[in-house]
């Protein structure tokens, strides 16, 4: 398949539509990869809707992204919002003396009816060194508490920090609705998360040839614990790895998941849709 020329690293052609509508559990419509032209929000939503991805969770994880998210969820009924300070953002704000004010802004905005998620929060030991670990962990605990106080779902970013993520969730008490966004753990971690009642959200990484361990983790994930996402504009599923990702490419990941789980595509679609509405509520406006 030859990608169409565009300012999006050759934005891939749309896959075949899904037979049942699904949700992109985690996307960043505010983020543009270097060298790309911005993809208009309405166009991104329309492309997704055309292939059966009718609802999206837009995630803002710094103050600019949060402001974008608040505006987007008011304008577009296809979107619900997630807001938080990303674990790499927390040490930066702490170093500049701006963290407490940023927390106050997140808490103020998180009360909005269309914001259903506190996230992405968590731990990232890949980009933040040992000097940032303590403040990162404190930030994770703060967001867990906020999610519980407001009755919102929690979406977790976990990079190279599996043991500490599970430990802190155990220590703090996880919210009733806890999602491991872009799940990256192994089979053992998947089983531990399922045992705790967490949902595992799989991204395009599950389609990568070298991701056998991740597919093993997926194989241990019951349908009732399953979500799917893009993490767009990153983690584009095969066969378009390296291109710019967008919600309209979710069908590629859904079909790969169905293959790993040895179930039909409609079964995966129904599970993903029902789980998302159970975790986040209805996308319909009151």
Q: Is 76 annotated as a binding residue?
A: no
Q: Where are the alpha helices (DSSP H) in the chain?
A: 41-50, 63-75, 89-96, 99-110, 133-150, 162-172, 187-196, 212-219, 250-261, 265-280
- Quote the CA–CA distance of 222 and 236 in Å, as a whole number: 24
Q: Which residue has the tokens 């919600």?
A: 247
At 260-280, the pLDDT tens digits run 999 999 999 999 999 999 999
Model pLDDT, residue 236: 97
Mean pLDDT, rounded, for 156-167: 97
Whether 8 has a binding-site annotation, put simply, is no
Residue 67 predicted with pLDDT over 50: yes
Is 160 labelled a binding residue? no
Q: Kindly state whether residue 112 falls inside one of the protein's structural domains.
A: yes
Cα–Cα distance for residue pair 266/17, rounded to 1 Å: 11
17 lies in some domain: no
How confident is the model over 75-89, as pLDDT tens digits? 999 999 999 999 999
CA distances from 254 to 91, 205, 206, 266 (A): 35, 12, 10, 10
Residue 180: domain span: 22-280
**Predicted confidence (pLDDT) at residue 286 exceeds the cutoff of 80:** no
**Closest to 245 in 3D by CA, of 253, 237, 254, 236:** 236
Question: Would residue 230 count as lying in a domain?
Answer: yes
What are 206-264's pLDDT values in tens digits? 999 999 999 999 999 999 999 999 999 999 999 999 999 999 999 999 999 999 999 99
- SS3 state at 183: coil
- Per-residue HEC secondary structure of 20-34 comes to CCEEEEEECCCCCCC
Residue at 16 is within a domain:
no
Q: Would you state the pLDDT for residue 7? A: 52
Question: What pLDDT sits at residue 9?
Answer: 57
Q: Is 112 annotated as a binding residue?
A: no
Q: What is the mean pLDDT of residues 135-142?
A: 98
Residue 97 lies in a domain: yes
Q: Give yes or no for a contact between 52 and 19, defined as CB atoms under 8 angstroms apart.
A: yes
173 confidence band (pLDDT: 50, 70, 90): very high
Q: At what angle do helices 89-96 and 133-150 cross, to 10 degrees?
A: 110
CATH of the domain at 48: 3.20.20.140
pTM over 0.85: yes
Give percent of the chain with pLDDT exceeding 70: 97
Q: Is 247 helix (H, G, I), strand (E, B) or coil?
A: helix
Write the burial class of residue 108 (CB in 10 Å: 0-12 exposed, 13-18 middle, 19+ buried).
exposed
Q: For residues 99 and 139, give the distance between their C-alpha atoms in angstroms, rounded to a whole number.
A: 9
Tell me whether residue 157 is annotated as binding: yes
Q: What pLDDT was estimated at residue 33?
A: 86
Q: What percent of the chain has pLDDT over 90?
A: 91
Asked, for residue 9, whether it belongs to a domain, the answer is: no
Consult the annotation and say whether 34 binds a ligand.
no
In a domain, 4, yes or no: no
Q: At residue 170, does pLDDT exceed 90?
A: yes
Structurally, the chain folds into a number of domains equal to 1
């Amino acid at each position: 398949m030859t990608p169409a020329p565009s300012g999006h690293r050759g934005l891939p052609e749309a896959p075949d539509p899904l037979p049942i509508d699904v949700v992109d559990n985690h996307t960043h419509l505010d983020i543009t990869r270097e060298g790309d032209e911005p993809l208009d929000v309405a166009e991104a939503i329309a492309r997704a809707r055309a292939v059966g991805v009718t609802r999206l969770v837009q995630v803002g994880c710094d103050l600019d992204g949060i402001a974008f998210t608040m505006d987007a969820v008011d304008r577009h009924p296809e979107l619900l919002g997630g807001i938080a300070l990303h674990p790499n953002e927390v040490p930066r704000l702490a170093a500049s003396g701006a963290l407490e004010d940023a927390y106050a802004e997140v808490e103020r905005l998180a009360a909005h009816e269309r914001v259903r998620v506190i996230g992405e929060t968590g731990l990232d030991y890949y980009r933040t060194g040992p000097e940032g670990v303590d403040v990162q962990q404190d930030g994770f605990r703060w967001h867990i508490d906020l999610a519980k106080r407001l009755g919102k779902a929690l979406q977790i970013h976990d990079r190279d920090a599996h043991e500490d993520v599970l430990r802190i969730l155990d220590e703090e008490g996880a919210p009733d609705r806890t999602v491991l966004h872009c799940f990256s753990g192994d089979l053992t971690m998947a089983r531990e998360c399922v045992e705790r009642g967490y949902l595992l959200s799989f991204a395009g990484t599950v389609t990568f040839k070298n991701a056998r361990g991740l597919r093993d983790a997926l194989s241990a994930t019951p349908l009732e614990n399953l979500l799917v996402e893009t993490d767009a504009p990153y983690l584009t599923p095969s066969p378009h790895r390296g291109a710019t990702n967008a919600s309209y490419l979710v069908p590629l990941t859904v079909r790969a998941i169905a293959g790993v789980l040895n179930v039909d595509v409609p079964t995966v679609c129904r599970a993903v849709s029902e789980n998302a509405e159970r975790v986040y509520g209805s996308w319909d406006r009151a």
